[in-house]
């Protein structure tokens, strides 16, 4: 069994933002030399998500509106967590979208359906955050 590890770094200039990281994950699989296995991609920060969906800007606006409805950012005072912080909503939004995804590696590639793309979703930006890629297989 082989394993491979890589971190990606992000510094999103706004509080929230989406980045398509599919090319970086595919490159990590190539670099690993692993042909058959599993790849785990997870946010290493607890106010961000890694998830799979469509790369369509209208949908991304819909995610913004929808998550803000489910877990509003303001007023900050609505959350117990916001004593010294203002990011409780980021922890909740990330819980909806998920911390991680696991994808099959087949024949050295992401084993994906037609429209699957991997995204990093920042919910508390303006600082350095990171994502872990871990691949195991042969």
- Residues in contact with a copy of itself by CB under 8 A are 1, 3, 5, 36-38, 40, 42-46, 51-54, 56-59, 61-63, 66, 70-71, 79-83, 88, 91-92, 94-104, 106, 111-116, 130, 132, 134, 136-138
- Find, among 135, 126, 136, 138, the residue nearest to 17 by Cα: 126
Q: Which is nearer to a copy of itself, 19 or 52 (CB)?
A: 52
| 2 beta partners | 137
DSSP secondary structure letter of residue 53: E
Ramachandran category for residue 58: left, alpha or beta (phi over 0 → left; psi -120 to 50 → alpha): alpha
Residue 23: CB minimum distance to a copy of itself, A = 18
Residues with Cβ within 8 Å of residue 69, at least 6 apart in sequence:
none
Nearer to a copy of itself, 12 or 43 (CB): 43
Strands ordered across the beta sheet of 117-122: 17-20, 117-122, 48-53
Residue 23 or 46: the one with the smaller Cβ distance to a copy of itself is 46
Q: Give 19 or 38: the residue with its C-beta nearer to a copy of itself.
A: 38
Q: Which is nearer to a copy of itself, 3 or 27 (CB)?
A: 3
* Cα distance between residue 26 and residue 33, in whole Å: 11
């Amino acid at each position: 069994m082989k394993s491979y590890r890589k971190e990606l770094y992000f510094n999103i200039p706004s509080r929230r933002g989406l980045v398509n990281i599919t090319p970086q994950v595919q490159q990590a699989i190539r670099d690993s030399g692993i042909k058959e296995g599993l790849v785990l991609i997870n946010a290493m920060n607890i106010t961000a998500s890694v998830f799979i969906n469509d790369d369509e800007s209208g949908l991304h606006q819909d995610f913004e509106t929808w998550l803000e409805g489910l877990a509003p950012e303001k007023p900050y005072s609505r959350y117990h967590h916001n004593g010294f912080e203002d990011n409780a909503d980021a922890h909740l939004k990330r819980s909806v979208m998920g911390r991680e995804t696991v994808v099959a590696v087949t024949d050295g590639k992401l084993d994906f359906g037609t429209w699957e793309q991997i995204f990093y979703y920042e919910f508390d930006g303006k600082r350095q955050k990171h994502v872990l890629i871990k691949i195991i297989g042969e």
